[in-house]
Amino acid sequence: MTNAFKKGALLTLLAGFMLASSPAQAGVGSVVMSTKSGIKAGASLSVAKPSWSDAAPAGVGTMKYNLGYHAGITTRLSFLMGMIYVQPELLYNRSSFDVNSTAGATTVYGNLLDVPLAFGVKLGLTRFYAGPVFNIYSSTSTSNKNIFSDAQITYPAVGYQAGVGLSLLFLDIDLKLNGLGAAPQETFITGATSTKADLSKYNLMLSVGVMF
């Protein structure tokens, strides 16, 4: 991913928070009906099992996803009396899955820093939204170096999201589907040998947020 791409995603988020934290200006206050910022956190779960794209290493058996979590900050810019909104976020996502083998078990951890950008409509208390998700940072680690000396996950730079939310006073409850244009690819490294596996392209995210 290029530095220009990362800077563009961060500038999009920064612009949203600047609008939300500043008083209404001429040409802005007349269009933006309301701005809110907040924090959110929740659980995430991949909806498909990982599969080996190469032949599985000798002695290695099943792979199973665990429940993950996410947390971050968000801003909502509402237009037309709150019926239409744009919502940039900065989210940290933590995922993991277990790999069983004859030599024991190991857990592979994935860490993502995402910038989701949602375009939505609000009907009463209910929100419907969709938009792109930009991945600006990722890292991988394993719990048992005796099975795999290293593991590296390659994520697509851009994904997408679609979801539904409920806004109750200052509380937001959201359920959304995150998708990727291509399956993330995991490379397991054992000495001089590497083996690839395709991970899930989709995950469900349930979150609770507090807006100010």
- Which pLDDT score, from 0 to 100, does residue 20 have? 53
- Which pLDDT score, from 0 to 100, does residue 25 have? 42
The residue ranges of the chain whose pLDDT is under 50 are 1, 21, 23-27, 29-30
Average pLDDT of the chain is 83
- Which pLDDT score, from 0 to 100, does residue 62 have? 76
- Which pLDDT score, from 0 to 100, does residue 189 have? 73
Amino acid at 160: Y
Cβ distance 212 to 170 under 8 Å? yes
Tokens 């596996």 sit at which residue?
197
CA 174, 92, 20: angle at the middle one, nearest 5?
Answer: 65
pTM confidence score: 0.83
pLDDT 10s digits, 110-144: 999 999 999 999 999 999 999 999 998 889 888 88
Cβ distance 121 to 127 under 8 Å? yes
Domains and CATH numbers, the chain: 3-211 (2.40.160.20)
Query: What residue spans of the chain are helical by DSSP H?
Result: 3-21
- Phi first, then psi: what are they for 211, rounded to 5°? -105, 140
SS3 146: coil
- Which pLDDT score, from 0 to 100, does residue 24 have? 45
Cβ distance 95 to 65 under 8 Å? yes
- Which pLDDT score, from 0 to 100, does residue 120 have? 98
CA 114, 116, 117: angle at the middle one, nearest 5?
Answer: 150
